[in-house]
């Protein structure tokens, strides 16, 4: 076995049904007496229910979390945090809300309790992506790692089927890139393969039976595994490209990851044979990239960037952004090849088909 380094992250997890009732205990465990609840505008009502569970520790709700963590939203949340005298934030929701909590922690040192309601996985990572003036930048620092995460299966029962699908494939993307990460290790590779397998089994059930508790439990467990992978090792082309696309064209995060993933895997396939073997085992498919493409198709969600708002004239710009700063990837980053990858994803072509030139 090759030598490796494995470093466990200092994070506390509660997992199961009804676990959200322990939110007050988690805030107290962190030594906080006042907590500001963070949500998106759509989840403000649910945030106030969390506030009721906090009792005297409830310091209010900031319901302005937004996709890609815009810095102007963070500035508004900072004002709310200061006026509430809170020393802890409770982030309820998906990656948007978790990202806002991380942005506040980076600036103030405030403690974080995350309550995920999607499969995004960012709650398990020391990674923060922020957007300013149309450019998304990413940092990795223990300063943004949440102290506590509550996984409550019941909170995912109302997650719409389409969002369950794209959020779940977004989680799979973390595990896929973890399998060929430069700093991968045997522990993380085990978690990655099991995370892919568990989500690939659960998601097709959830799009038809969204209230299936067994499938919801599997999906949330798989998302936790994939989030652990994302937090432990570095990512590569897929994540870099999705951040460029999302930040530059304001594309929905999970949908972008879902569409790009099979094409990024096809790009790296020849350079990462062990990773491809693990992905095919997890999917029960003969080919990693096409197996992922077929999974997405079976879930009935968009498979083309053109379907989610990307302009055709953005292909060249996205290719330029993706190669402007050097970063590690198992296959060298070549501008023309990346451009063709984006063109395939834009058109929704099956991996391996000749790339079409968009008008």
Look up the pTM and report it.
Answer: 0.90
Name which of 253, 285, 269 is nearest 179 in CA terms.
269
DSSP 3-state of 111? strand
Q: What own/partner pairs with CB < 8 Å and gap ≥ 24 does 78-83 have? A: 78/104, 78/107, 78/108, 80/36, 81/36, 81/108, 81/110
148-152 and 111-116 beta bridge pairing:
parallel
What confidence score (pLDDT) does residue 356 get?
Answer: 47
What confidence score (pLDDT) does residue 248 get?
Answer: 85
Domain 161-347 bears CATH identifier 1.20.1090.10? yes
The CA distance from 359 to 246, in Å, is 21
Taking the domains of the chain in order of start, what are their residue ranges? 12-156, 161-347
For residue 49, how many other CB atoms are within 10 A of its CB?
A: 12
For residue 40, how many other CB atoms are within 10 A of its CB?
A: 20
The confidence band for 330, taking pLDDT boundaries of 50, 70 and 90, is: very high
**Residue pLDDT, tens place only, 247-296:** 889 899 899 999 999 999 999 999 999 999 999 999 999 999 999 999 99
Name which of 151, 274, 269, 273 is nearest 217 in CA terms.
151
Same fold yes or no, 12-156 and 161-347: no
Residue 325 is given by DSSP the state S
Given the candidates 3.40.50.720, 3.40.50.1970, 3.60.20.10, 3.30.70.270, the CATH classification of the domain at 12-156 is 3.40.50.1970
What confidence score (pLDDT) does residue 358 get?
Answer: 42
pLDDT > 90? residue 135: no
User: Which of 107-111, 290-294, 318-322 is predicted with the least confidence, judged by mean pLDDT?
Assistant: 318-322
**Residue pLDDT, tens place only, 155-177:** 999 999 999 999 999 999 999 99
What confidence score (pLDDT) does residue 353 get?
Answer: 52
The CA distance from 215 to 211, in Å, is 8
């Amino acid at each position: 076995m090759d030598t490796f380094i494995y470093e466990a992250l200092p994070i506390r997890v509660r997992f199961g049904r009804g676990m959200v009732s322990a939110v007050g205990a988690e805030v107290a465990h962190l030594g906080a007496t006042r907590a500001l609840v963070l949500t998106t505008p759509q989840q403000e009502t649910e945030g106030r229910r969390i506030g009721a569970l906090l009792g005297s520790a409830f310091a209010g709700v900031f319901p302005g979390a937004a996709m890609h963590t815009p810095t102007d939203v963070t500035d508004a949340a900072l004002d709310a945090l200061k006026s509430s005298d809170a020393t802890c934030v409770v982030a309820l929701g998906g990656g948007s809300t978790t990202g806002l909590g991380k942005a506040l922690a980076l600036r103030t040192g405030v403690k974080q309790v995350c309550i995920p309601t999607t499969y995004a996985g960012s709650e398990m990572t020391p990674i923060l992506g922020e957007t300013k003036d149309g450019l998304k930048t990413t940092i990795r620092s223990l300063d943004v790692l949440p102290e506590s995460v509550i996984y409550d299966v019941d909170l995912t029962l109302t997650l719409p089927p389409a969002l369950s699908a794209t959020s779940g494939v977004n989680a799979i993307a973390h595990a896929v890139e973890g399998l060929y990460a430069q700093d991968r290790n045997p522990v993380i590779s085990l978690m990655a393969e099991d995370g892919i397998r568990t989500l690939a089994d659960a998601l097709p059930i959830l799009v038809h039976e969204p209230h299936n508790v067994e499938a919801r439990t599997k999906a949330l467990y798989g998302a936790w595994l994939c989030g652990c992978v994302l937090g432990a090792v570095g990512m590569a082309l897929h994540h870099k490209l999705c951040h460029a696309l999302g930040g530059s064209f304001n594309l929905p995060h999970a949908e972008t990851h879902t569409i790009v993933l099979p094409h990024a895997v096809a790009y790296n396939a020849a350079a990462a044979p062990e990773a491809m073997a693990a992905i095919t085992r997890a999917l029960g498919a003969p080919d990693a990239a096409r197996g992922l493409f077929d999974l997405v198709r079976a879930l009935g969600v968009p498979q083309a960037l053109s379907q989610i708002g990307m302009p055709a004239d953005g292909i060249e710009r996205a290719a330029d952004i993706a190669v402007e700063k050097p970063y590690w990837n198992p296959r060298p980053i070549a501008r023309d090849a990346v451009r063709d990858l984006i063109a395939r994803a834009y058109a929704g072509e099956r991996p391996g088909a000749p790339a079409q030139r968009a008008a």
